């Protein structure tokens, strides 16, 4: 399994997409990615940016948030323009890149919990609407991945990351209704599994507690991205099964907001300790675990965003060169 070493979750601070791309390709060259800059405003946020990819499902911003509409409007066009400029920048900065590259989009369940139907209820409240949304998103994402391949002909693969911070709430039945006075019913796990199979070998990122690891393994995702601090000991049996099945893990070990960073050995320790507890050979660690910030970097300063990615790469080198670093004696 090819080592991805280190990467980022997706979002960056500021409004300069070319500079964000330079940072990404400079600091995490083993798995660079197309950064998102939500600070640019409407259409650059996670929901609007992904909604720009939807096929035949135009959306527009209402006072309550994003809502389906009859035809593309100003907000939709703004989101499309942001993405087009970002792809132009990717082609410029990533020219000559050989290796994998990652793109991130909001997953169907978090998206369905954030976009309203025309009459005001959330799409998540209507199973038929969720099916339509998933199909539209899958087609739009496939087109997006093809466009990235065209612009970066040297890329060996385009890795797709679905951002699903809302998934645990969807499964638990804790997502508020559009009015905010009730909760939407829990969604059956089989529906989530089927929806994820509409996407080609995705990673799933979830920065919320209660990541459904067993469900994601059954859905056939290629990897899971999670904040290492949110892993629970009771998850470790299913984590071990996922590792044995060849699933990759992107572990968030670097804080995503400005702070004083410890040395690389300390940052690598959560990964090496988890691997020890799971009982796998230390030499396999670097090939199956990729280090990342705990979540997106949109709330960080530009200088810290660069330092955080650099710290991920340095910690990954510790795991590669000394995979037992941080392990207790006898591990």
Q: How far apart are CA 99 and CA 194, in angstroms?
A: 30
Cβ proximity of 166 and 114 under 8 Å: yes
With cut-offs at 50, 70 and 90, classify the pLDDT of residue 1: low
User: What pTM does this model have?
Assistant: 0.94
Q: Which residue pairs from 175-184 have beta carbons closer than 8 angstroms and sit at least 24 positions apart in sequence? A: 175/113, 175/122, 175/124, 177/121, 177/122, 177/125, 178/64, 178/116, 178/120, 178/121, 178/122, 178/125, 184/113, 184/122, 184/124, 184/125
Number of continuous H segments (helices) and E segments (strands) in the chain: 12, 8
Whether the CB-CB separation of 260 and 250 falls below 8 Å is answered with no
Each residue of 124-179: pLDDT tens digit?
999 999 999 999 999 999 999 999 999 999 999 999 999 999 999 999 999 998 88
Contacting residues for 6 by C-beta, under 8 A, at least 6 apart: 28, 30, 31, 290, 291, 292, 309, 312, 313, 315, 316
Q: Where are the domains of the chain?
A: 17-36+82-321
Average pLDDT value over all residues in the chain: 93
Quick: pLDDT tens for 257-279.
999 999 999 999 999 999 999 99
3-state class of 35 per DSSP? coil
Q: What is the pLDDT of residues 59-86, one digit of tens each?
A: 999 888 899 999 988 999 999 999 999 9
Kindly state the tokens that stand for 13.
């601070």
Residue carrying structure tokens 């139907």: 117
- Please give the Cα distance from 121 to 129 (Å, whole number): 11
CATH architecture of 17-36+82-321: Alpha-Beta Barrel (3.20)
What's the rounded Cα separation, in Å, for the pair 220 and 107? 15
Tokens representing 72 are 């593309």
| Residues 208, 230: Cα–Cα separation, whole Å | 8
Say whether pLDDT at 246 is over 50: yes
């Amino acid at each position: 399994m090819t080592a991805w070493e280190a990467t980022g979750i997706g979002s960056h601070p500021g409004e300069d997409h070319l500079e964000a791309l330079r940072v990404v390709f400079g600091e995490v060259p083993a798995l660079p990615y197309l950064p998102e800059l939500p600070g640019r405003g409407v259409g650059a946020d996670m929901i609007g940016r992904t909604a720009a990819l939807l096929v035949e499902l135009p959306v527009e911003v209402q006072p309550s948030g994003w809502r389906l509409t009859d035809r593309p409007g100003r907000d939709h066009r703004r989101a499309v323009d942001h993405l087009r400029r970002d792809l132009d920048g990717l082609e410029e900065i990533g020219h000559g890149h050989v290796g994998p590259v990652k793109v991130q989009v909001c997953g169907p369940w978090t998206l369905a919990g954030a976009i309203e139907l025309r009459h005001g209820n959330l799409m998540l409240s209507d199973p038929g609407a969720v099916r339509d949304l998933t199909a539209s998103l899958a087609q739009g994402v496939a087109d997006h991945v093809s466009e990235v391949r065209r612009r970066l002909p040297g890329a060996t693969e385009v890795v797709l990351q679905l951002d699903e911070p809302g998934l645990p709430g969807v499964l638990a039945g804790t997502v508020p209704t559009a009015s905010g006075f009730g909760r939407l019913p829990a969604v059956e796990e089989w529906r989530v599994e089927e929806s994820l199979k509409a996407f080609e070998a995705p990673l799933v990122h979830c920065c919320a507690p209660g990541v459904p690891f067993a469900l994601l393994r059954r859905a056939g995702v290629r990897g899971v991205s999670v904040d290492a601090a949110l892993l629970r000991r009771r998850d470790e049996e299913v984590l071990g099964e996922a590792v044995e099945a060849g699933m990759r893990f992107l572990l968030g070990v670097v804080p995503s907001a400005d702070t004083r960073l410890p040395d690389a050995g300390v940052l690598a320790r959560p990964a090496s300790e988890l691997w020890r507890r799971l009982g796998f050979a230390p030499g396999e660690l670097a090939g199956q675990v990729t280090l990342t910030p705990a979540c997106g970097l949109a709330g960080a300063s530009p200088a810290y965003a660069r330092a955080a990615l650099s710290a991920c790469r340095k910690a990954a080198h510790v795991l590669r060169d000394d995979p037992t670093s941080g392990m207790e004696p006898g591990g």
